């Protein structure tokens, strides 16, 4: 699951599959897939805690003013959606102004930026600083909605203008309610993310050593002309790389060299730029001779050795660590489960299982931070176990069921379990987002 190499694949042709294995249905390409490893960071910041789950902010079009709630003395007014709407000012001199008649329940705040600069806005617990909802990039003169569910408690808006200090608005109290507030999370700082990121980097170092060893076994088999042994050695080596999912953004060009696909290559599988595991895979499962594969196998081993040598000097960005926990399996669903990275071996489900392993490792390092912030963290573990059990049932002593041979119930089970897990991992990305506190 290379983050950089697959970024441009959203609109690319699927990888080739053997003639005996029809390509599984491919969903409509997504238009939000990034073309580089500046992944979905900005999209992550549009997530907010509301209505008991993480949901995307429904933005009012830029430049359009919405003034529902104005002229009502700060009271919420009903809207077409049936929810109370209250206009709240976002400005250094008036952060939170307008919310003067608090009420409990599910509601919408129309955040109106009356200042001359863009700002982020948080609705916080006035006592703890926990965030109930947020909107980023609120441009001057515009209004965007923030939907939340509030129960008894003390709340305050926090406005964070670009290039200026944060301003906390007046405290608003809700009492006498039987409604339970939606989830809130304490902001995570960059400093808190450094220890788990460093621990993960050390784990990756060990995997680069393992990767080099297993790739050497693959190369040796090709060099001596034993293609049956090479086919047997290919998957163990490839799966080591696939378990390293959260580090792909730091691998740089090595990722494309080691695990790139034909996406964007005019010559397809015959293009000189097609290298790495998938190039060797294509040759091994499409009748290429050992002499023809020696060059690609040798180049793969050299690229892996270069990655092993360079990794100790690399530094992962702690701010991206939680986001990667979501992206690994998000890309698994998009590419592995659609067969778009199958170049003949039929092992996409084995790759999905390796991606699951990689996600579990990363969550292990992030666990201490998540357990105190995510009320659904235990449930996330249950979903991880469910997906693992489903995938393991398709492994028959190392011979994985190809996607094209799944029965309809099997296919639906894989899609449901992996898809449900990805939805829950979106919470991890949002909760581990580094937020400004000053």
Mean pLDDT of 76-80: 69
Task: Please tell me the predicted confidence (pLDDT) of residue 146.
Answer: 96
For CATH 1.20.1420.20, the residue range(s) in the chain are 3-42+190-431
The label of the residue with tokens 């991206």 reads 320
pLDDT higher for 308 or 37? 308
Mean pLDDT of 378-403: 96
| Nearby residues of 352 by Cβ (< 8 Å), 6 or more positions away | 332, 336, 337, 391, 414, 418
The label of the residue with tokens 């408690």 reads 153
Q: What is the pLDDT of residues 163-173, one digit of tens each?
A: 899 999 999 99
Q: Identify the H or E element spanning 296.
A: helix 290-310
Let me know the angle formed at the C-alpha of 46 by 165 and 372, rounded to the nearest 5 degrees. 80
Mean pLDDT of 103-113: 96
CA distances for 358 relative to 204, 258, 282, 329, 362, angstroms: 10, 17, 25, 9, 6
Mean pLDDT of 302-314: 97
Q: Round to whole Å and give the CA distance between 7 and 202.
A: 26
Q: Round to whole Å and give the CA distance between 160 and 435.
A: 10
Mean pLDDT of 19-35: 34
Task: Please tell me the predicted confidence (pLDDT) of residue 30.
Answer: 33
Under a CB-based contact definition with an 8 Å cutoff, are residues 263 and 251 in contact?
no
HSE-up of 100 (CA within 13 Å, CB side)?
11
**Is 53-174 in CATH node 2.60.40?**
yes
Complete edge-to-edge strand list for the sheet that includes strand 143-150: 77-78, 84-90, 105-113, 143-150
Q: Which CATH superfamily is domain 3-42+190-431 in?
A: M75 peptidase, HXXE motif (1.20.1420.20)
Task: Please tell me the predicted confidence (pLDDT) of residue 438.
Answer: 76
> Residue 367 above 90 pLDDT?
yes
Quick one: CA dihedral 135, 141, 142, 146, positive or negative?
A: positive
Chain CA centroid to CA 168, Å: 31
> Residue 193 above 50 pLDDT?
yes
Mean pLDDT of 196-200: 97
Mean pLDDT of 301-310: 97
Banded pLDDT at 74 (limits 50, 70, 90): low
Under a CB-based contact definition with an 8 Å cutoff, are residues 50 and 77 in contact?
no
Task: Please tell me the predicted confidence (pLDDT) of residue 169.
Answer: 95
Share of the chain above pLDDT 90, in %: 74
Nearest to 278 by CA among 229, 316, 334, 235: 235
For CATH 2.60.40, the residue range(s) in the chain are 53-174
- For the entire predicted model, the pTM comes to 0.78
Q: What is the pLDDT of residues 258-297, one digit of tens each?
A: 999 999 999 999 999 999 999 999 999 999 999 999 999 9
Nearest to 131 by CA among 66, 184, 93: 184
Q: Which tokens go with 230?
A: 């090479």
Q: Round to whole Å and give the CA distance between 402 and 339.
A: 9
Q: What is the pLDDT of residues 36-52, one digit of tens each?
A: 333 322 233 333 333 33
Write the DSSP assignment of 37-86 as a string of letters: SS-SHHHHTTEEEETTEEEE--PPPTT----TTTTTTT--EE-TTSSEEE
HSE-up of 237 (CA within 13 Å, CB side)?
27
Nearest to 220 by CA among 212, 330, 286: 212
> What is residue 268's DSSP assignment?
G
């Amino acid at each position: 699951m290379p983050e950089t190499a697959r970024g441009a694949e959203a609109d690319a042709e699927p990888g080739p599959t053997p003639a005996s294995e029809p390509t599984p249905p491919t969903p409509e390409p997504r238009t939000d897939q990034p073309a580089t490893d500046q992944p979905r960071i900005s999209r992550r910041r549009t997530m907010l805690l509301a209505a008991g789950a993480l949901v995307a902010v429904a933005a009012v079009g830029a430049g359009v003013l919405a003034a529902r709630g104005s002229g009502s003395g700060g009271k919420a007014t009903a809207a077409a959606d049936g929810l109370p709407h209250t206009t709240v000012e976002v400005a250094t001199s008036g952060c939170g102004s307008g919310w003067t008649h608090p009420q409990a329940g599910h509601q919408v705040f129309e955040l109106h930026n009356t200042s001359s600069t863009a700002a982020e806005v948080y609705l916080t617990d006035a006592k703890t600083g926990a965030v109930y909802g947020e909107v980023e990039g609120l441009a001057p003169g515009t209004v965007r909605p923030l939907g939340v569910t509030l129960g008894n408690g003390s709340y305050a808006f926090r406005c964070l203008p670009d290039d200026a200090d944060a301003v906390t608005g007046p405290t608003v109290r809700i009492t006498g309610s039987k409604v339970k507030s939606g989830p809130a999370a304490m902001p995570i700082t960059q400093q808190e993310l450094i220890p788990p990121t460093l621990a993960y980097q050390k784990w990756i170092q060990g995997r680069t050593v393992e990767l080099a060893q297993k790739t050497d076994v693959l190369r040796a088999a090709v060099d001596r002309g034993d293609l049956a042994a090479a086919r047997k050695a290919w998957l163990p080596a490839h799966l080591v790389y696939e378990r390293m999912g959260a580090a792909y953004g730091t691998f740089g060009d090595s990722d494309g060299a080691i695990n790139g696909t034909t996406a964007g290559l005019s010559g397809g599988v015959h293009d000189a730029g097609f290298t790495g595991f998938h190039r060797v895979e294509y040759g091994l499962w499409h009748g290429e001779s050992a002499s023809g594969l020696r060059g690609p196998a040798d180049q793969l081993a050299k690229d892996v050795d270069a990655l092993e040598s360079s990794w100790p000097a690399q530094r992962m960005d702690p701010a991206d660590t939680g986001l990667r926990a979501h992206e690994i399996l998000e890309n698994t669903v998009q590419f592995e489960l659609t067969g778009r990275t199958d170049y003949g071996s039929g092992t996409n489900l084995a790759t999905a299982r390796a991606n699951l392993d990689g996600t579990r490792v990363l969550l292990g390092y992030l666990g201490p931070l998540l357990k105190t912030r995510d009320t659904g963290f235990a449930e996330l573990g249950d979903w991880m176990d469910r997906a693992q059990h489903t995938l393991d049932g398709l492994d028959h002593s190392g011979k994985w069921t190809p996607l094209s041979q799944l029965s309809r119930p099997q296919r639906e089970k894989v899609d449901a379990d992996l898809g449900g897990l990805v939805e829950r991992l979106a919470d991890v990305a949002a909760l581990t987002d580094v937020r400004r506190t000053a």
